[in-house]
Amino acid sequence: MKDTKIPYKIYLDEKEMPTAWYNLRADMKNKPDPLLDPATGKPVTAEALGQVFCRELVEQELNETDAYIPIPQEIRDFYRMYRPSPLVRAYCLEKKLGTPAKIYYKFEGNNTSGSHKLNSAIAQAYYAKNQGLVGVTTETGAGQWGTALSMACAYLGLDCKVFMVKVSYEQKPHRREVMRTYGASVTPSPSTETEAGRRILSEHPGTTGSLGCAISEAVEAAVTREGYRYVLGSVLNQVLLHQTVIGLETKTALDKYGVKPDIIIGCAGGGSNLGGLISPFMGEVMRGEADYRFIAVEPASCPSLTRGSYVYDYCDTGRICPLAKMYTLGSSFIPAPNHAGGLRYHGMSPILSQLYHDGYLEARSVKQTDVFEAAEEFARVEGILPAPESSHAIRVAIDEAKKCIETGEEKTIVFGLTGTGYFDMTSYQKFNDGKMSDYIPTDEEIAASLALTPKF
């Protein structure tokens, strides 16, 4: 017997929360191609990965067989601090649009880090602690990942060293201060603390840094320091695995009310939130139990799925991390400076790349100004100020709901609302002042960047 009236917000009981992450690769017909060692061009070994990443995380990264991986109790306790996150029925938005569609969104912004990143940050920090490590290093650009990781490390008493792209460090002092409040040390990158940083500073004096450079510094800081490892906030299989907590909760909440989605939508940068949201549903598709449409939404300024190539490429601009087979714009691709917020990654998670390649996943690219228009429309009726990243999903959800007005179809649309935009008001101001512009890379720019991908 199912409830018929759906509340505005569906909160699961704590006992309904997932006790294991779902490993989609176990059910995928075509598994993603393996990571390659940049030194040998051969599949990277667990031993080599273990120099950089924590032991248990390496196992998760390479595990293609276990469909469920238990969530350790300490992580489940932490999840209970801010989860279950609400699955919201967007009654107010539906009414505003006048659509017969039923719109739901899974809201991951109700924690201080402001995004879904915390789901993986606590897992990665936990395994580091469990391995007896002293601390972890990472890089951060927009700052959501660094914030999430510093929260997780504060909770576990683990040292946290964040290399923050210098231009962000200076332009986003508030993000930096949240990390410091959580006890992290935040270093503007490039810095004189690492060989990589010193080299870049001598070659490009006055540079404001890049994500690629910050990754190089964070990895170097981890491998040259006793008791440290490097952690990464997206792209990797392990990160998508941890993020399945989003999709598992969503599915349990929908099942509870007998709701079956028609379309599931998420924004995609490195792909961790979208992968986490769709995994349990995609698993049903793989097992022939159900059918859904899945849409990845990416910025027109960084369109890796819609305009990239499916090839082996470096995961980092510095070319020191393993190579992944993925949709990529080339590791030297940098989105135009007018692009706001995250979703700036040149590639896409190998799992999502494989799914897209095999036709299970659609992709759509949207323009920045259209995204902020959707963000503002959403904020005014749903009462949540969305992050620019999350607003890519809002844009397409609204577009699909508007199609239903024309067709009269009562489609059920579910999208992921990954975070809040409190630290993005400079971009909102640009939009409010009519000073925001769009930039779409030319075919030549993308081709030039892609020409530099390695041949494997």
Cis amide bond preceding 190, omega within 30 = yes
Site string for a second copy, 91-110 (x = CB under 8 A): xx-----------------x
Cβ proximity to a second copy, 174 vs 403, nearer residue: 174
Nearer to a second copy, 385 or 396 (CB): 385
Phi (first) and psi of residue 349, to 5 degrees: -45, 135
Within residues 179-198, the interface with a second copy by CB under 8 A covers: 180-183
Q: How far is the CB of 377 from a second copy (least distance, A)?
A: 10
Q: How far is CA 258 from CA 3, 4, 37, 288, in A?
A: 8, 8, 46, 19
Of residues 326-385, those binding a second copy (CB under 8 A): 376, 379-385
Would you count residue 40 as binding a second copy (CB under 8 A)? no
Dmax of the chain from CA atoms?
A: 69
Q: How far is the CB of 197 from a second copy (least distance, A)?
A: 23
Nearest to 372 by CA among 435, 310, 301, 431: 431
Which residues in the 132-151 window bind a second copy by CB under 8 A? 151
Instruction: Report the C-alpha gap between 294 and 415 in whole angstroms.
Output: 10
For residues 178 and 248, which CB has a smaller minimum distance to a second copy in the complex?
178
Q: Where are the alpha helices (DSSP H) in 328-387?
A: 350-357, 368-382
Closest CB to a second copy among 281 and 378?
Answer: 378
Question: Between residue 41 and residue 80, which ones bind a second copy under the rule CB under 8 A?
Answer: 77-78, 80
CB 336 within 8 A of CB 301: yes
CB atoms within 10 A of CB 44: 22
In the range 417-436, which residues lie near a second copy by CB under 8 A? 420, 422-423, 425-426, 428-429, 432
**How many other CB atoms are found less than 10 A from the CB of residue 50?**
15
| Footprint of a second copy on 8-37 (CB under 8 A) | 8-9, 11, 13-14
d(CA 109, CA 370): 22
Binding residues for a second copy (CB under 8 A): 7-9, 11, 13-14, 77-78, 80-82, 91-92, 110-112, 114, 118, 151, 154-155, 173-174, 177-178, 180-183, 376, 379-385, 420, 422-423, 425-426, 428-429, 432
